[in-house]
Homo-oligomer: A and B are copies of this chain.
Amino acid sequence: MPERGLYDRGMAVRRAVLGDAHVDRSLARASDFDRDFQEFITKTAWGSIWTRPGLDRRTRSLLTIAMLAALGHDGEFKLHIRATRNTGVTRDEVKEVLLQAAVYAGVPAANHAIALARSVYEEMDGEETGASAS
C-alpha cells in the first residue's frame, strides 16, 4: 500500500474519532511550522495504529483516555473526552477509567482529570442546548 494510503486511511479514522469540525479547523490553521507534524501524526497515530483491527475503537478510546490522564497531557485529554461522542464511550465509563487511574497514577492526576472531563462535558451540554435553541 502506498504511503498516500497511510495518510488517507489515517485522515479517515482521525475524522471519524475527533469529528470533521475539529479536523477541518486543524487543517485550516496549519502553518509551515506544524504542517509536517500534522502529517506525521495523521500517518502514525491514526493511519498506523488507530486503523488496526485488533481492538475496537471504543477500547482504544478508553485506553487513550487512561494514558493521557496518567501522563497529564491536558489538551489532548480534553480532545479525547470530546471524542467520546464518536467512540461510544459513556460518561460513566470515563468516571470508572479515572477511578482506576487514581490507583495507578495517583490521586492528584485523577482528580485533575475528573475536573477537566467534567468541564468538557459541561461545554458539550452547553453547545447542544445552544444548538437546539437556535
Interface residues of chain A, those whose CB is within 8 Å of chain B, are 1-3, 5-6, 31, 33-34, 36-37, 40-41, 43-45, 48-49, 52, 54-55, 59-60, 62-64, 66-68, 70-73, 75-76, 91-93, 95-112, 114-115, 117-118, 121
Contact = CB atoms under 8 A, between A and B. Distances in A.
B49 A103 contact: yes
Contact of A48 (B43, B62, B115): B43
A63 B64 contact: no
A33 B110 contact: no
B111 A37 contact: yes
A36 B99 contact: yes
B114 A34 contact: yes
B100 A64 contact: yes
Closest 10 CB pairs of A and B: A106-B106, A73-B108, A54-B96, A76-B108, A55-B96, A67-B104, A45-B103, A67-B70, A63-B66, A2-B2
Contact of A41 (B3, B71, B109, B111): B111
Nearest to A2: B2
Interface centre among A52, A67, A68 (most CB of B within 10 A): A67
A115 B41 CA distance: 14
Nearest to A91: B33
Contact of A70 (B2, B33, B70, B97): B70
